A and B are shown apart, each in its own frame.
Chain A
């Protein structure tokens, strides 16, 4: 009995060592993700849009990712100020697998860093001036304001295989603008792909993924 136990331990240690040296090929596939929340978010917020992203699985470890989207914003404040904004955005970044399950990391827990960029236009209507000693109360509007913005996103999330090539996943985002070029007469109130112009900002995304068959 005393001899059997060390032998068993010795065998499983060897198996473990054998598993560790299995080399994962560089290319492990491409996943396309469709944002499920943005298209319907006008039901619960002042914006909606479409968003699609793709990432390449390298060694089940690194996931370079690109993301394209369009967002539309229409909000009226309590004071009656109306802001409409629309535009495209682009994000590029890399995620790192913190843990995964499956030959091609079908189930994945990841963290990453992304850079986002958007060039867009916006209109501001029914603007009210902040009162001063002279009691200013005029109303004005600024049309066709244009701005470009870049921001950084720190992300963490999971992706879970549902069936075959289909997965679902969420991503938590911590965003902060890096550069904002103001419009002629204004600071942009909304940035497509980023959200309302607060800094820093938290966000969540919920995606349906499809793994390409090659």
Chain B
């Protein structure tokens, strides 16, 4: 029994040495999550008919949607990104520009997933049309969902 027992595992040694599981199973979404808060109502609120795009991009992030938060991807090539937020209320169109300033940290996740860029928020401005102010709750923007910013209505 002892003489034979090592033969098969010896073959398995070769197989296990040459095989390994792969694939990207990590969350690679790095987004700034911004919730809406009404200072009048003193609670989190939703906004109807919201359209959002990044300044310098020709594609929409949200297209006429009802939202309770924004999930925004920062431009990793620069240290400032602007977004236009449009909303329709009472038949009137309102537009606000959000300006985020931040620093970047490139991050290698794995051979399968590649790299992403983490950021640290420094300032967050609004033009005051829809959102009166912005409060940064958590400046670290990594590949985990958390509430980073509160936009005050």
Interface residue ranges, A against B (CB under 8 Å): 37, 41, 44-45, 75, 77, 79, 81, 83, 101, 107, 109, 124, 127-130, 132-134, 136, 138, 140, 142, 157-158, 160, 168-170, 172, 183, 185-187, 189, 195-198, 202-206
Q: Within 8 Å of chain A (Cβ to Cβ): is B40?
A: no
Partner of B108, one of A132, A157, A186: A186
With a 10 A CB-CB cut-off, give which of B12, B13, B17 has the most chain A CB atoms.
Answer: B17
Q: Within 8 Å of chain A (Cβ to Cβ): is B21?
A: yes
CA distance A21 to B9 in the complex (A): 35
Instruction: Determine whether the beta carbon of B73 is less than 8 Å from that of A133.
Output: yes
Given A44-B18, A187-B108, residue A133 in contact with residue B6 (CB < 8 A): no
Contacts of B114 in A (CB 8 A): 79, 81, 127-130
Closest 9 CB pairs of A and B: A186-B108, A204-B13, A44-B18, A133-B73, A170-B9, A107-B2, A134-B75, A132-B73, A77-B111
From 1 to 42 in chain B, residues with beta carbon under 8 angstroms from any chain A beta carbon are 2-3, 5-6, 9-10, 12-14, 16-18, 20-21, 28, 30
Contacts of A132 in B (CB 8 A): 30, 73, 76
- Main secondary structure, interface of A, reads strand
CA distance A185 to B30 in the complex (A): 15
Contacts of A197 in B (CB 8 A): 110
Q: Enumerate 14 A-B pairs (CB-CB under 8 Å) in ascending A order.
A: A37-B13, A44-B17, A45-B17, A77-B112, A83-B111, A129-B116, A129-B117, A130-B113, A130-B115, A136-B117, A160-B2, A186-B108, A187-B108, A189-B110
Contacts of A83 in B (CB 8 A): 111
- Rounded to whole Å, the gap between the CB of B2 and the closest CB of chain A is 4
Q: Within 8 Å of chain A (Cβ to Cβ): is B66?
A: no
Instruction: Determine whether the beta carbon of A185 is less than 8 Å from that of B106.
Output: yes
Instruction: Determine whether the beta carbon of A134 is less than 8 Å from that of B111.
Output: no
Instruction: Determine whether the beta carbon of A160 is less than 8 Å from that of B73.
Output: no
- Rounded to whole Å, the gap between the CB of A134 and the closest CB of chain B is 4
Instruction: Determine whether the beta carbon of B20 is less than 8 Å from that of A196.
Output: yes
- Rounded to whole Å, the gap between the CB of B85 and the closest CB of chain A is 15
CA distance A134 to B114 in the complex (A): 17
- Rounded to whole Å, the gap between the CB of B143 and the closest CB of chain A is 9
Contacts of A44 in B (CB 8 A): 14, 17-18
Contacts of A138 in B (CB 8 A): 77
Partner of B17, one of A37, A140, A189: A37
Q: Of all chain B residues, which has the CB nearest A196?
A: B20
Q: Within 8 Å of chain A (Cβ to Cβ): is B64?
A: no
Instruction: Determine whether the beta carbon of B77 is less than 8 Å from that of A134.
Output: yes
Instruction: Determine whether the beta carbon of A185 is less than 8 Å from that of B110.
Output: no
